[in-house]
Amino acid sequence: MLTQKPRHNENISLTFDGTFEGFLSVVHAVYYEKLAPATIQTENSEQLTLFGANAKADVGSRFISTDGKKAVRVFSAIREKISPEAADYILYAFLSEENGRFLPMLQYIKLGFSVGHMVNSHLHEDCVPLIRKLARQVGREAHLLTGFCRFEETSTALYCPVTPKNDVLQLLATHFSQRIMNEAWVIHDKTRKKAAIYDGKSYVILPAENAEITHTAEEAETRELWTTFFNALVIKERVKPKLQRQLVPLYFRKNMTEFKQ
């Protein structure tokens, strides 16, 4: 278990490379190097604090290098000493891309090491409802996308473009690697210019610019048939745009075959 030691460097600002392993390395440094950061930021970025104010100019800065072994140790401690649910909350909150989330994430972890699995009942602590809210938002978007993803057949692999608000590519890749196991596929996050590439056995996430996609003849025919079928089912007198927007948010539709004309 990580044990908090006396603090120093109360006004330091910690920076890291922007990866989840990097953030966990920051947590390790806070505990084992007795740091009490005023802010936690990604490298080459200016995160906002929880209350919307920029970090003070006179705050010293230190970059924390990513250490995979330390990251695994911290994440295992969160799962074992707090709860698996708390570990998921931290991962999902990290994927939210909410400005200023890193310091509340650290506060949530520190509280969890103090109170254990009861951490989520401490709603009077500002960090707890915030982390829970961010985790729910990410989880909901990832869940919806598992149903709204549309894989297109190309000459090399199935291709699925997505433009999520949160960085849920890893969650989608994990989901589909357990469900489309015998096909090569690519899930392309066009917003963040990266893609999960699956070869039938495992996936990797790599940088990816906009791709030129060539559909097979069968795919083009299937897309046309599906769009025709979808439009034929519509009863104009019963269309409820507000309800439809609630069930299928507008920003999902540009990547869904049935909404392309």
pLDDT of 23 over the 90 cut: yes
3-state secondary structure of 174: helix
Question: What does the pLDDT average to over 101-128?
Answer: 97
Domain ranges of the chain: 13-139, 149-259
pLDDT of 4 over the 60 cut: no
Identify the pLDDT of residue 51: 39
What's the chain's average pLDDT?
86
Compute the distance between CA of residue 116 and CA of residue 201 in angstroms, rounded to an integer: 37
Give the pLDDT confidence of 45-86 residue by residue, as tens digits. Answer: 654 444 344 444 455 889 999 999 999 999 999 999 999 999
Half-sphere exposure at residue 159, Cβ-oriented, CA atoms within 13 angstroms: 18
Identify the pLDDT of residue 61: 86
% of the chain beyond a pLDDT of 70: 82
If pLDDT is split at 50, 70 and 90, which confidence band does 180 have? Answer: very high
CA angle 215, 220, 221 (to 5 degrees): 150
Look up residue 15 and give its two tokens: 């920076």
Give the pLDDT confidence of 125-150 residue by residue, as tens digits. Answer: 999 999 999 999 999 999 999 998 98
pLDDT of 233 over the 80 cut: no
pLDDT of 151 over the 60 cut: yes
